[in-house]
Amino acid sequence: MQIRPANTNDANILAELGAKTFYETFREFHTEEDMQQYIQKAYSVDLMTENLSKESIQYFIAFDEDKPIGYLKLIKDASHEKLTSQKNIELEKIYVLKEYLDKKVGKELMLQAINFSKQNNFETLFLGVWQENHRAVNFYKKFGFETFTIRTFQLGETLCDDFLMKLNL
């Protein structure tokens, strides 16, 4: 497995990988209509192309040889009213294909996110995670993330409560 920063040529890879991993992760909890509506909005090639051109957004992609198997998305200089540090970075997305969940891909992606954040002098790495996604919540806790507030996330017609968790770097 190798992890590399994404570039503007990776929009199709990220759109496909993002849609697939999101669907695998949340399909059993939401209607097909809500899932398709969100995926079309959040994982379009146009949006990925736009995001990859922004200096404030950094993606990394994990590969098993030539096969994309996971990714993460960081938003530099993100903020939240309940964070006290001045230099915050948000881990907005971290997803791994279902077939690779127990192969340490998520761990390596998280270490990439933490190392990138430290190397770029951020003080706090934070993220949002659905409260009912116990596997993810426990995964983040293993890295030292702590819940600092709750926010609402809308997926189609469904309102979800997310923990906001932070790691002081």
Which one-letter amino acid corresponds to residue 44? S
The count of structural domains within the chain is 1
pTM above 0.85, yes or no: yes
Q: Is residue 133 part of a domain?
A: no
Q: Is residue 128 part of a domain?
A: no
CATH code where residue 113 lies: 3.40.630.30
Q: Is residue 11 part of a domain?
A: yes
What tens-digit pLDDT sequence spans the chain (169 residues)? Answer: 999 999 999 999 999 999 999 999 988 888 999 999 999 999 999 999 999 999 999 999 999 999 999 999 999 999 999 998 889 999 999 999 999 999 999 999 999 999 999 999 999 999 999 998 999 999 999 999 999 999 998 887 778 899 999 999 9
Q: Is residue 154 part of a domain?
A: no
- What is the residue range of 77's domain? 2-122
The rounded Cα 21 to chain-centroid distance in angstroms is 11
Q: Is residue 140 part of a domain?
A: no
- Enumerate the β-bridge partners of residue 93: 73
Q: Is residue 76 part of a domain?
A: yes
Lookup: tokens for 47:
């949006």
Q: Is residue 90 part of a domain?
A: yes
Lookup: tokens for 39:
């995926």
